[in-house]
Structure formats: structure tokens, C-alpha cells
Structure 1
Amino acid sequence: MPPQSKQQSAKSPAIPAGMPTITQTHKSTAQAEKKPFQWQFLHPKYWGVWLLLFVFLPMIYLPLGWQFWLGRKLGILIYKVAGSRRRDTLINLKLAFPEKPKAECELMAKQVFVNQGIGVFETLCAWFRPNVFTRTVSISGLQHLVNAQNEKRPVILLGAHYTMLDLGGLLCTQFFAADCMYRPQNNALLDWFIYNGRTRIFGKQISSRDMRSLVSSIKAGHVIWYSPDQDYGLKQGVMAPFFGVPAATITAPRRLAKMGNKKNPPAVMALHTYRQTPDNLPRGKRPHYHLTITPELSNYPSDDEVADATRVNEVLEGLIRIDPTQWMWFHRRFKHGPNGRTGIYK
């Protein structure tokens, strides 16, 4: 748990006099334009998605304690029925924590799914009931981001795939505005639903294929949330250790850091989002979350892309270790090696 002395509360931020608690563009960013509804979404192939929406959306109006209970049950259910995801999670945990006995890794894996089940409700509430999380967050390291923004520098904020999903983005908006990069969903209806939900959180959503919009946001001096913690192979990456395991690591952050002008280059720092409250939230109690922003990476990027990727992985690993079960270990993080697929997930 982050030291209390370093925390800054959304209720009473402890920052030096004269320094803004939020970036200058915060609250002034217009809500992003939503994607229009398409009649093709009524096709039977999308009925499964509609069914899930009709089941889960009404539940977000229950008290948070009930939602946490339901999320826990959902996570346990998925852990039992999603055999391949459970197997991938256990493989990842065994690789990353070889010192832990099998029984402990199994408990960690189960808790990953519990946290993800809760994260489903946290994300839906972030999209449709954002006010329920008012005054539930503290932050440390905000000064690093504010200082960069005051110098008219864009900020590349390196996030990770934590189980609370988009709630992390919503909590950040209590302190600063941000754009985010994303990968479009293969399911068109799901992509429409997620994109429109995120318009309530982010100023701009930039597709990973839309470099023009990305460059525009950087030149405008925005804060851009980018998560480089998944395996996309070596076409645009290098092998670098992650939890002591060689992992295909995307080198996009160092390319983004080169896109600004030389006078005010982008500042690269990392963001950690963390649920401090136990998952079995007592009745009538509200959860508490903590955000951590690390200092800017110095002398980044360097001339060595492997060294840069290793630095990014080390920073993210240190943050994930605060509570490893709040990171999505069910993704195939180690599926590629230097000679192609590793085959460890067979």
C-alpha cells in the first residue's frame, strides 16, 4: 500500500501552494463524439452481447457492496468454467513467481478472476454511474504530471491492463484530462458500446492504427494514456525481461517520446491504479482507490531500444507487484520468443 504521507486526496489534495491540482485543460475538454448506432447491431449474431448487456446493466444501480459481492461470484464462476484462461493464468504466474508453491499460485489465479469480476461492475459504473466514485480516490506523484504540463510538454502515461479496467481512467479525470490509445474490438457491437462508454472518460480515443490523430494529440500537448504491457510479437518490439522472463515488448513508447518538438519533448511516466479496499466490501462502506504516477523516465529514449524496453518493463513490474492479483494475468504475455511463438500455452 502506498505510504499515506505521499497520498493526495481528491477531497483535499496536499500539493504546494500555487500549483494547480489539475492540468490547465481539465474540465474544458469537450466530450468526444459518440459513434452512431447501426441497424446491423440487431442481427442475431449480436444477440449474445445484447443479452449480457440486459443482464448486467440493471445491476449497476445496486449498492456497491452488492456489486462487489456479485463481481466476486462472477469471477469465481469464470475461473471454474474458462478452462483455457485459467490455464494461461496459472502458466503466467508459475513463470513470473517460480518461488511460490503451486497452491499459492492457484489462490492468486483465483483472486485475479475475482478482481476481474469486480472490475466488470466498476467499469460499467464508470461509464454510466461515474458520480458513485466521487471522493473515493487518493493520488501520489501528481506533481510529476502537472510540472510537465506547466512546461507545455505532452505526457505519455504508461498504464497497464489492471482488472478495474476503465474505472482507472475515470478516477484520473478527477485530477487531469487524458486521451487514450486503444485497439478496436473485433465485435462491432462491443466496440460501439465500449467506445461510447469511454467518451464519458477520455477526451479523445485514438485507434492504434490512427497515427495522424496520435501525432495531433502529442503536438497539442495532451496527456496520452498508453498501455505497453501486452505481447504483440516482434514486428514492432524487442525481447526484454518481464518478471524475469524474456517477453516480446513493444517499443512504441520510445517512438512516441520522439514525436514532440525538441524544445518541449514528451515526458514519459507510468501510472498505477490500485483498489485498496478488500473485495468483500462491507455493507454501507465505499471502496477506496489509489493512483500512483511515477517520476519522468530520465534520459529516455536512449540509443538502445532493448535497454529502453527493459526500463519500461521494470517500472511496470514494480507497480504490478503492489498487488499482482489486480493485473490481467490471463493474457498470453509470453507467447512470443525471439524465434516466433513459444508454444508454452498449448
Structure 2
Amino acid sequence: MPGHPPPASPSPTSAGSPPLSPRHWLAWLGIGAMATLARLPWALQRGLGHLLGSALRLALGSRRRVAARNLALCFPDLEEAARARLLRAHFSAIGIGVFEFARAWWGSVAPLRRGLVVEGLEHLAAARAGGRGVIVVSGHFTTLEACGRLLCDHGVPLAGMYRPHAGAVMEWAVKRGRLRYAAAMFGREELRPAIRHLKDGGLLWFAPDQDTRRGDSVFVPFFGRPAFSLTSTHQLARLSGAAVLAFAHVRRADGGYTLRLSPAFGGFPTRDATADTARVMAAIETMARAAPAQYLWIHRRFKRQPDGSDPYR
């Protein structure tokens, strides 16, 4: 655009130049509103989060039905009334999570540090012995962003792997927000620099638990059902020589947070990508069973089945 210098190219450690074309101004207004909400008092945000969750549960009918179906598939022994309570709690967790995301990107997480419990740092230190890189595996939980920042602020220099946003403004603003605390951010296509980061002894946070059309995937059990799952953890560990450990994060009933790093997986990776992927999904299932309201059930996790059926129809 005349009068504007060409935007700087983004990198894993830089968001580049912001997109300032007039066609992006409306998106910037939205980002400004979210950044303002990120600075509201935390107690008020939690209250608003419950209200937002209730509103989303009513407004997003298709997502509500997906979440309800997932809960029925994954907790078949739970009574219907109990699953209905879990569904309501899940949307409340989503509502609070919206404010947590905004705080992590553009606000302060100081109020979230009150009562913070961090466990298993010794496991991370052991995995890093000798300068080895470490893949820190988690799942898609509503607490994902806030707890990632809390761990980084606790002195753990995580880099992240993520799916870039389609909107240029949101992509720039979120990446810039994440780079306030993360060591680097690698888009899902930036495999070579991510592997190089691991080979250099870096830490890479990764959540491989969603059904996506990109990347090599296999069917492995998840809550007793076949789930089409990325083999990326196996591939990254094989190509980089990195250790792999699980990172669980929970928003406790008292309002505090618990972050828990587990011992590194023994004998990982093997030559069997399916077996390794099953181990990763089993670890994420354990996390989800420990905090079922906080797992992201609105994703169609079982949309592809070996027999071609669709359990959401």
C-alpha cells in the first residue's frame, strides 16, 4: 500500500509488523475491546465468565450438542442428570477460559498466581539433563493459555507449536501476546525450525489431541473409542531426539491453579508410531478424567471412525 513500508516477515520469535490496512480496522476494534476486558479485576472476570458460559451454552446450539454427545460417548456410565451438570460446568469453564486467554495474551496473570501449585519441575530437569530437548505434551483444555503463561512465568522457557489464525490481525495480536512469555511460537508448518529448537535443547509445548486434516494420523483409543490422532509427538521425538513428558493443568475449585509435570515417558519413541500415539492419548485422557469440565468437549473428537460412521449425526 502506498505510504506504508512492507511488513516485516514474522519469525518464531517475532510477530513481524502489524497489519494496518484500513480493511483491518474493524478487527483492531475487536482486539482493543478484548485487551480492555483483559484488564478488568479478576474476581469480576470470573463472574462474567460464568455468565458468558451460560450465554454461549444457549447461543451455540451445534457446539452444545457436540459437547453433550462427547460426554455421552466418553462417560456412558454417568447418569443423564450428572452429564447435564457436567455440560453446564463445561460451558462455565469455557466462559472463564475466554478471560484467561485474554489475560495471558494482553493482561497480567498476577492474580492467577495466588495459590499457584507447581509440581514435577524435577522431572523436567531430569529430562533436560545433558542438554536434551523436551516435548511438553498437553491437551486442549480451557486453562491451556493461562497455565502455559503461568509455567513460563515460573521460569520454564517454553516454546509453543500452534495453528495460526486465519485473520491477519488476530494472528499478529495473539502471536505478539504469546511472545510476551513464550520463548518462541512455531506454526504447525514450521517443523524444521521446531526440530532445530529441540535439537538445541529447547522446550516445545504441544497439544496433539484434535482430529485435523493436516499431518499423519492414526486411530488409537481415547475414552475407549477410536480417535483419529496425530502421530506428531512420535515424529518430533524421533527426528529431534527429544524427551517427552506430560503437562497437566487444572483450575481448582478454590480458584487457584495446579500445574503438574510428569516423569518423561520411558522408551519413547519406539519404532511403532501407533503405539507411541496411544501412549500420548492415554496421558491426555488421564488429564481429562481428572478435570472433565475443563477439557474442550465442543470439538468433534470422534468425527472420523474406522468404519466411516459419524457419531455426531
TM-score, reference length from structure 2: 0.90
Partner residue, 1:103: 81
Q: CA deviation at 1:126?
A: 1.8
Partner residue, 1:338: 306
Kept after mapping to 2: 8 A contact 1:233/1:336 = no
Partner residue, 1:272: 248
Partner residue, 1:171: 150
1:150 to 129, 143, 148: 129
Q: Which runs of 5+ in 1 are unaligned?
A: 1-30, 279-286
CA 156–112 in structure 1, closer or farther in 2 if over 3 Å, else same:
same
CA 154–74 in structure 1, closer or farther in 2 if over 3 Å, else same:
same
Q: CA deviation at 1:50?
A: 4.2
Aligned counterparts of 1:67 and 1:38: Cα–Cα separation in 2? 29
Partner residue, 1:137: 116
Partner residue, 1:200: 180
Q: Which letter does structure 1 place at the counterpart of 2:289? A: R
Kept after mapping to 2: 8 A contact 1:120/1:164 = no
Kept after mapping to 1: 8 A contact 2:222/2:281 = yes
Aligned counterparts of 1:212 and 1:229: Cα–Cα separation in 2? 21
Partner residue, 1:188: 168
Aligned counterparts of 2:32 and 2:169: Cα–Cα separation in 1? 14
Q: CA deviation at 1:304?
A: 2.2
Aligned counterparts of 2:155 and 2:167: Cα–Cα separation in 1? 32
1:327 to 290, 295, 298: 295
Per-residue Cα deviation, 1:200-241 (whole angstroms, up to 9, x for no partner) = 121110111012211210111101001111012596111001
Aligned counterparts of 1:138 and 1:68: Cα–Cα separation in 2? 20
Alignment of structure 1 residues 228-307 onto 2, 5 Å? 228-233=208-213, 236-260=216-240, 265-278=241-254, 287-307=255-275
CA 235–206 in structure 1, closer or farther in 2 if over 3 Å, else same:
closer
Report the 3-state secondary structure (helix = DSSP H, G, I; strand = E; otherwise coil) of the residue aligned with 1:291: strand
Kept after mapping to 2: 8 A contact 1:125/1:132 = no
Aligned counterparts of 1:204 and 1:64: Cα–Cα separation in 2? 27
CA 116–35 in structure 1, closer or farther in 2 if over 3 Å, else same:
farther
The count of residues paired between Structure 1 and Structure 2 equals 300
Aligned counterparts of 1:51 and 1:104: Cα–Cα separation in 2? 40
Report the 3-state secondary structure (helix = DSSP H, G, I; strand = E; otherwise coil) of the residue aligned with 1:258: helix
Q: CA deviation at 1:110?
A: 1.6
TM-score, reference length from structure 1: 0.82
Aligned counterparts of 2:81 and 2:29: Cα–Cα separation in 1? 36
Structure 1 position 79 matched with structure 2 position 21: no
RMSD between superposed Cα atoms in Å = 1.9
Kept after mapping to 2: 8 A contact 1:157/1:225 = yes
> Percent of aligned pairs with the same residue?
32
Aligned counterparts of 2:83 and 2:30: Cα–Cα separation in 1? 30
Aligned counterparts of 1:331 and 1:192: Cα–Cα separation in 2? 24
Partner residue, 1:10: none
Partner residue, 1:118: 96
Q: CA deviation at 1:266?
A: 1.2
Partner residue, 1:33: 14
Q: CA deviation at 1:339?
A: 5.1
Deviates more, 1:288-297 or 1:49-58: 49-58
Higher helix share: 2
Q: CA deviation at 1:153?
A: 0.8
Kept after mapping to 1: 8 A contact 2:50/2:92 = yes
CA 55–233 in structure 1, closer or farther in 2 if over 3 Å, else same:
closer
Report the 3-state secondary structure (helix = DSSP H, G, I; strand = E; otherwise coil) of the residue aligned with 2:281: helix
Structure 1 position 309 matched with structure 2 position 277: yes
Report the 3-state secondary structure (helix = DSSP H, G, I; strand = E; otherwise coil) of the residue aligned with 1:193: helix
